[in-house]
Amino acid sequence: MATAEALALAGINALYGDSHVLHDVSFSLASGRVLALLGRNGAGKTTCMSTIIGFLQPRDGEIRLFGEPIHRLAPEAISRKGVGFCPQGRRIFPTLSVRENLIVARQKRAESTKPWTLERVFDLFPKLSERAQQQAGSLSGGEQQMLAIGRALMGNPRLLLLDEPSEGLAPRIVAEVGQTIARLKQEGLSIVLVEQNIKLAFGLADDVIMLNTGRVAFTGGVEEIRNDEAMLTQHLGVF
């Protein structure tokens, strides 16, 4: 029987060399919800994402995807299990066309009732359809972010990790990215969102995890923290 938890981290410790970055990090994401993973620069957010996707092996603890342990798997195996990753900085293939960037990430999933295809991605992002044959490196920053999200969706993920999707984008494009994430949420996709734009994060998230120096400083619903000025100042410095 499938678990209601899309993702669960329990007692995760992660190190870069001798540097202990994540300290006993535990949290979970219910299926079909958006979890905002927040914190100041250097708090451990990207390290946490890297550990989930398998780029960094945890020293101890466990990570489960819909109840199945994935913390000892290689990144490609974790991707095949249903984790999509849209990294900070987009990391598209600049010399490939938009279409080629999408096709190279294509994976089928037996349990997908409505799989992501080129047509569905182009429906979600009409601008990418217009530029399908264009080299990805010549796209605007906003278009490259759309392509990075579309590429992650082509893997037909059950869980989508978004690392700073609004970074460096104009406010109008940030709003478009937010609308896209909201649409994916409406379709029932489970999402972990790392985001410095607190207004955007709070507008999309159901739940919030705050990291401070690699430790969980807060976990709860977005309404619990939205107006807690002292907590937001202490851990995010936003006031």
Confidence of residue 141 (pLDDT cuts 50, 70, 90): confident
Q: Once rounded to an integer, what is the mean pLDDT over residues 220-236?
A: 84
Token pair of 46, please?
């990207």
d(CA 106, CA 141): 23
Domains, the chain, with CATH or none = 1-82+159-170+189-239 (3.40.50.300), 90-157 (no CATH)
Token pair of 195, please?
């985001």
Which residues have a Cβ under 8 Å from the Cβ of 215 and sit 6 or more positions away?
Answer: 23, 24, 25, 44
Average the pLDDT over each of 14-18, 35-39, 91-95, 225-229 and give the range with the smallest value: 225-229
Average the pLDDT over each of 21-30, 58-67, 169-178 and give the range with the smallest value: 169-178
Confidence of residue 88 (pLDDT cuts 50, 70, 90): confident
Token pair of 183, please?
């649409």
Q: Which residue reads 């995760």 in tokens?
A: 12
pTM over 0.75: yes
* β-bridge mates for residue 97, sequence order: 135
- Per-residue three-class SS string for the chain: CCCCEEEEEEEEEEEECCEEEEEEEEEEEECCCEEEEECCCCCCHHHHHHHHHCCCCCCEEEEEECCEECCCCCHHHHHHHCEEEECCCCCCCCCCEHHHHHHHCCCCCCCCCCCCCHHHHHHHCHHHHHCCCCEHHHCCHHHHHHHHHHHHHCCCCCEEEEECCCCCCCHHHHHHHHHHHHHHHHCCCEEEEECCCHHHHHHHCCEEEEEECCEEEEEEEHHHHCCCHHHHHHHHCCC
Q: Once rounded to an integer, what is the mean pLDDT over residues 89-97?
A: 88
Between the CA of residue 79 and those of 11, 225, 228, 237, what are the distances in Å?
22, 32, 36, 34
Q: Are 87 and 71 in contact (CB under 8 A)?
A: no
Confidence of residue 90 (pLDDT cuts 50, 70, 90): confident
The answer, yes or no, to whether residue 224 has pLDDT greater than 90, is no
Q: Once rounded to an integer, what is the mean pLDDT over residues 150-178?
A: 92
The predicted pLDDT at position 2 comes to 46
Q: Are 66 and 2 in contact (CB under 8 A)?
A: yes
Which of 136-145, 204-213, 230-239 is most confident?
204-213
In 3D, which of 158, 187, 193, 160 has the Cα closest to residue 174? 193
Token pair of 103, please?
């096709």
The predicted pLDDT at position 66 comes to 95
Query: What phi-psi label fits residue 90: left (phi over 0), alpha (psi between -120 and 50 degrees) or beta?
Result: left
